[in-house]
Amino acid sequence: MEEQRRRDATDNADRSVAITLPTVPPVDEAAEHDAMDRQPTLTKPPGSLGRLENLAVALAGLSGESRPELAEATVVVAASDHGVVDRGVSAYPQAATRAMLANFLNGGAAINAIADAVGAETLVVDAGIVGEPVAGALDVRIGSGTDDAAAGSAMSRKEALAAIDAGLEIAAADLDDSDIVALGEMGIGNTTIAAALTAALTDASPAEATGHGTGIDDGRLDHKIDVVEEMLRVDGLSPDDRSTDQDPLDILASVGGFEVGVLAGVAIGCAADRTPVVVDGAISGAAALLADAIEPAVRPYLLPSHAGVEPAHAIQLDALDLDPLFEYDLRLGEGTGACLALPIYRSACATLREMATFDDIGLGPDQ
């Protein structure tokens, strides 16, 4: 509680602090048009590759390359802890965050297996788990876990800004050679955080945005919804209380968490470098919503992967105008669904880049 009072007391001083963002370029229309013009010349009936053709054109416009390759892929797995876990919203103890972070670093998690299978590098980030830093993780720790967001702000505005800045720095320093980036996360209690952020950034109610997370039963789900409602109420984010011009940085500070802010910064920083960002499940979806609220120019660079089980995810995808590529009943997080989407995006680009044209095989209009 002392830390909570300190954060609340410093927020007024932090109010003047603004985010300094890199410039996100618009879609490269020339590259997009080149890709679009090439599609009808390829050795296939027009439109026969369906959505793959649209994905290839979109990726050309995002990358600025008329025949993109997406050779280098990275999944960023950002982890932090959340004080709201003390409210009994998860089936797992907070210590599981640290244990899983070590598991990522040792190569024993689902994301390691899937990332290896699809040829993606894994970048593990400690954004602020409880206790000492985890050796081997990229240390951008904003704090040792957030405060209980159902009792007051999860963090100060200054800490929220630091989380965004950390993500921007990761994009600039660690992802500059990546052609496409997948968003992943770990943090016990973060489906509660994602539900609160989703409700605060859209018109959804806490009941609509809150799901079973790690596998709690229906009785604990009702309690979890009550906690999300309280998180919104204590900071004036309930539907009847929130202002229409609510600062997204204030929303992040109110409900957390550190890893969501870091991933939002990663998304914005990658977009500034023309690097497409693949959104995973509900937590990275909350980060995508936050990034879009902070910098609307980022939206074209946000790419869908799967349709997650958590109800917040469908709300997020709808708000961001993203149509999922597949539905595998995934709810693990870690960036697993986003990594599974990488071969689809690479395949779309490969057809555009590598297929022969009708002229190449002697079936052009003059043949």
Helix (H, G, I), strand (E, B) or coil at 176: coil
Say if strands 302-303 and 138-139 run parallel, antiparallel, or are unpaired. unpaired
Sheet containing strand 73-80, edge to edge, reads: 138-139, 121-128, 73-80, 180-186, 277-278, 302-303
Closest C-alpha among 153, 151, 155 to residue 141: 155
Q: Is the peptide bond before 88 cis (omega within 30 degrees of 0)?
A: no
Q: How distant is the alpha carbon of residue 130 from its chain centre?
A: 22
AA letter at 14: D
Query: CA Rg, the chain, in Å?
Result: 21
CB 310 within 8 A of CB 316: no
Given 132, 169, 334, 354, which residue is catalytic? 334
Residue 29 annotated to the active site: no
Q: Which tokens sit at 238?
A: 């309930």
Distance set, CA 124 to CA 50, 178, 280 (Å): 35, 15, 16
Give me the active site residues, please: 334
